Chains A and B, each alone.
Chain A
């Protein structure tokens, strides 16, 4: 018996990846979460961060999304998922300053601030 399960990342316009793997680490809303085979059925959503897929050693940057795990199928729906190797280095700086500007606006709610701070941190630590 292999200890692999299927992970699939889907964006509104295409299916980004579908592979078998032993472990996936997702940036769930309340903290990072590692998922192994036979995890209990789960629905959660994501904060900005990195999805790491073991075995194929690929990482994806997401800003938001929803995750469902059932029957050893991990399904990640996100409109912002991007393979880290495909991200344009120049645009990262712009994203960071953009997010920092938003942070300083007074009407931003705590929840948004929470998400934005994660976005900035992740982007800074992408170290391409």
Chain B
């Protein structure tokens, strides 16, 4: 049975923890609003970009000579996995969920006797992956010191991917990130960016228009495809940022609530023991008086 003093100390410490989690929750909520806005504003760009590429793909005259970024190298021996995570912890299952999904894919790729290369963005993801798959990591990025991630950062990652691709370092590229659905649901996702995955958007096939191109299709594609990679990376960044804040908000909300529960429980305990000690003292006094 802990003494009254011990209980008092514990209540105090839980209360101050609660204050911290509460503050973190509020900060996350404020940041979330901004991040969510950014994510939603960024969606049309990447979506329309994808649309244009799809239109281009359909009207390309000679599919065999299409740029490799679009159609792939023809092999699928080496996979490049880009895992996007946060730089900070204390955000619930956010980082773990991405890593879990990524690790399942890693296992599958290795089981199929294929080569694996990993790029991690965000220090938390690297920490979780390095233990098992450290030797596959070819590059790691961390934008910890950046307050807000802009298109520039996405471009650095995108250019690195393209550079590796041009050196024939890999055949397929998959992005792992958390898709922001709403504050409580974030869905870890794997998106294939090289070669372009054009199966998912088949429904729009009906409204196909004969486009006029200037300059010709190939030149546009060559210019557009690398840009698209950066755009997709950027979209993933934005989704991730919103998801991180959402996830942190929920996690901190839960922590605050749990701390509250704990304080209640400890207070009851504290009151009980106080009552018990008073009763004990009373009994002692009474029995002492009786024996006189």
Do A30 and B214 touch (CB < 8 A)?
yes
Is the C-beta of B143 less than 8 angstroms from some C-beta in chain A?
Answer: no
A contacts with B: majority SS: strand
Contacting B at CB under 8 A, from A32-67, are 33, 40-45, 66
Do B41 and A43 touch (CB < 8 A)?
no
B contacts with A: majority SS: helix
The interface residues of chain B lying within 8 Å CB-to-CB of A79 are: 151, 227
Do A68 and B52 touch (CB < 8 A)?
yes
How distant is B225 from chain A, measured CB to nearest CB, in Å? Answer: 11
The interface residues of chain A lying within 8 Å CB-to-CB of B209 are: 41, 70-71
Do B211 and A13 touch (CB < 8 A)?
no
A93 to B172: give the CA distance in the assembly, Å.
Answer: 43
**Tally of contact residues, A, Cβ under 8 A:** 23
Given A13-B41, A13-B151, A68:B214 Cβ within 8 A: no
Which of under 10, 10 to 19, 20 to 34, or 35 or more describes the interface residues of B? 20 to 34
Contacting A at CB under 8 A, from B167-226, are 209-215, 220, 223-224
Mark each residue of chain A from 100 to 120: 1 if its CB lies under 8 Å from any CB of chain B, else 0.
000000000000000000000
Question: B residues near A, CB below 8 A?
Answer: 38, 41-42, 44-46, 48-49, 51-52, 55-56, 150-151, 154, 209-215, 220, 223-224, 227, 231, 234, 238
Question: A residues near B, CB below 8 A?
Answer: 10-15, 28-30, 33, 40-45, 66, 68, 70-71, 75, 77, 79
